[in-house]
Amino acid sequence: MKGQTSFFEALVGQIRLIHGDGPVPLHRPVFEGNEKRYLSECIDSNFVSSVGARVAEFERQIAEFTGARHAIATVNGTAALHVALRLAGVEPGDEVISQALTFIATCNAVSYIGAVPVFVDVDLDTLGMSPNALCAWLDAHTERRDGEAYNKTTGRRIAACVPMHTFGVPCRIQDIVSTCRDYGIPVVEDAAESLGSYVGKRHSGTFGALATLSFNGNKTITTGGGGMIITDDDALAKRAKHITTTSKVPHPYEFVHDEVGYNYRLPNLNAALGCAQMERLPAMLAIKREIAHRYRDFFAGRAGARFVEEPAGTTSNYWLNAIVLDSQRDRDELLRYTNEQGVMTRPIWRLMTGLPMFKDCQHDGLVNSLWLEERVVNLPSSVPEGAFGRLRT
């Protein structure tokens, strides 16, 4: 990259204009609303575990915001995905199609059930599952038996498909769902990073049979740790709440459990944080969009780096802003320089096929995924401290 040092210096300067001086984290939580008040009220009520009014309120807020009929709160996004896959009908020995360019939680949840991931490639613009790659792999590798898809090579049933909205950028979910419907494969959307992202006017996570969200400390809003299952299916929602509450049969004092369940319900303390965070979500999204636009304008016309923008017809929450550099060498140099300057940047995740647990999983070659793995860098994307209603100029 020509003029590499001056480019890096200019980028660090732009980041400091947005996020201030001193060490700049990648994405920090912001507690500038009613968080302390709601936590204090929760402690005073003595309802601090999974039984409490804030849990139901947080679920209602998420359902209303996303437009989903139901929302079921869990201890984290991985737990939400684990349960969602089970609800979708995934069983031990099945296969689940996903993308290798993802956070480890996606594949961990598949593994918890005893299922096996299969990986298809992503699109270069969305960084999310490519519907063309999905269709090509299904056409080449599956056969139908009794209305279900089976892998001709392994003989395993393909029980679900899990596309992810990477960094909050909506993937081509409508095409993915349409293809999976043709093959009788339920879709579970990994929307962990995309609260506040839309395809048209429809919120991400409302296209598949189920979807999951994450409220980890680095997400757009946080409950410290927490997740959510969203669905429009009444029966799936009822069962989700039941098995995340240790499958306990409701009774005033008896302890009867009718199947193996999980202690996955979100505590009231965490939900109290979530309720306060939700009050600021529209403002957070507006500020993050302005930050993204400032990055976009900075990179416009610059050689050597492309800013990852939302595709036409979609709205990204810009959870983590990302750029794609010309080469792995440029990526490594940028990571080294920025982090030495106290500005936290990071590469994209190691491909799942590069990890020992998943190195033998079937895949389609992953040409785009491998190319992106060498070139993507995430930039600081927090809402700046005190930024509600304004941005540093």
CATH number at residue 250: 3.40.640.10
Cβ pair 158, 117 in contact under 8 A: no
Q: Is residue 292 part of a domain?
A: yes
Q: Are residues 133 and 90 in the same domain?
A: yes
| Over residues 70-87, mean pLDDT | 98
pTM of this structure: 0.95
Provide the residue range defining the domain that includes 97: 35-277
Spatial separation of the C-alpha atoms in residues 214 and 237, rounded to whole Å: 17
Q: Are residues 45 and 23 in the same domain?
A: no
Q: How many domains does the chain have?
A: 2
Q: Of 48-62, 320-334, 352-366, 377-391, give the lowest mean pLDDT range.
A: 377-391
pLDDT at 3: 67
pLDDT at 393: 40
Is residue 25 over pLDDT 80? yes
CATH at residue 17: 3.90.1150.10
381 or 2: whose pLDDT is higher? 381
Domain boundary among 277, 310, 344: 277
**For 137-154, how does the pLDDT look when each residue is reduced to its tens digit (9 = 90+)?**
999 999 999 999 999 999
Q: Is residue 128 part of a domain?
A: yes
Please state, rounded to an integer, the average pLDDT across all residues of the chain.
96
Q: Is residue 205 part of a domain?
A: yes
In 3D space, the residue among 198, 200, 193 whose CA is nearest the CA of residue 105 turns out to be 193
Q: Are residues 167 and 206 in the same domain?
A: yes
pLDDT at 388: 74
Give Cα 62 distance to the centre of its chain.
Answer: 15
Q: Are strands 158-161 and 95-99 parallel, antiparallel or unpaired?
A: parallel
**For 222-232, how does the pLDDT look when each residue is reduced to its tens digit (9 = 90+)?**
999 999 999 99
Q: Are residues 50 and 81 in the same domain?
A: yes
Kindly state the DSSP code that residue 201 receives in the 8-state scheme. Answer: T
Cβ pair 168, 158 in contact under 8 A: no
Q: Are residues 266 and 292 in the same domain?
A: no
Spatial separation of the C-alpha atoms in residues 175 and 158, rounded to whole Å: 18
Q: Is residue 391 part of a domain?
A: no
**For 277-292, how does the pLDDT look when each residue is reduced to its tens digit (9 = 90+)?**
999 999 999 999 999 9
Q: Are residues 354 and 225 in the same domain?
A: no
Q: Are residues 291 and 152 in the same domain?
A: no
In 3D space, the residue among 64, 160, 62 whose CA is nearest the CA of residue 110 turns out to be 160
Q: Are residues 175 and 248 in the same domain?
A: yes
Is residue 392 over pLDDT 60? no
Domain boundary among 259, 277, 295: 277
For 224-244, letters b (16+ CB in 10 Å) and e give ebbbbbbbeeeebbebbbbbb
Q: Are residues 70 and 163 in the same domain?
A: yes
Q: Is residue 387 part of a domain?
A: no
Domain boundary among 277, 299, 331: 277
Q: Is residue 357 part of a domain?
A: yes
pLDDT at 296: 98
Is residue 313 over pLDDT 60? yes
16 φ, ψ (degrees, to nearest 5):
-70, -30
Residues near 118 by Cβ (< 8 Å), separated by ≥ 6?
95, 96, 97, 98, 137, 151, 158, 361, 362, 363
Q: Are residues 204 and 295 in the same domain?
A: no
Q: Are residues 98 and 214 in the same domain?
A: yes
Q: Is residue 393 part of a domain?
A: no
The CA-atom distances, in angstroms, between 234 and each of 15, 209, 338, 340 are: 45, 11, 48, 51
Q: Is residue 159 part of a domain?
A: yes
Is residue 246 over pLDDT 50? yes
pLDDT at 319: 98
Tell the residue number behind the tokens 């349960």, with chain if given: 83
**For 103-144, how does the pLDDT look when each residue is reduced to its tens digit (9 = 90+)?**
999 999 999 999 999 999 999 999 999 999 999 999 999 999
Q: Are residues 201 and 250 in the same domain?
A: yes
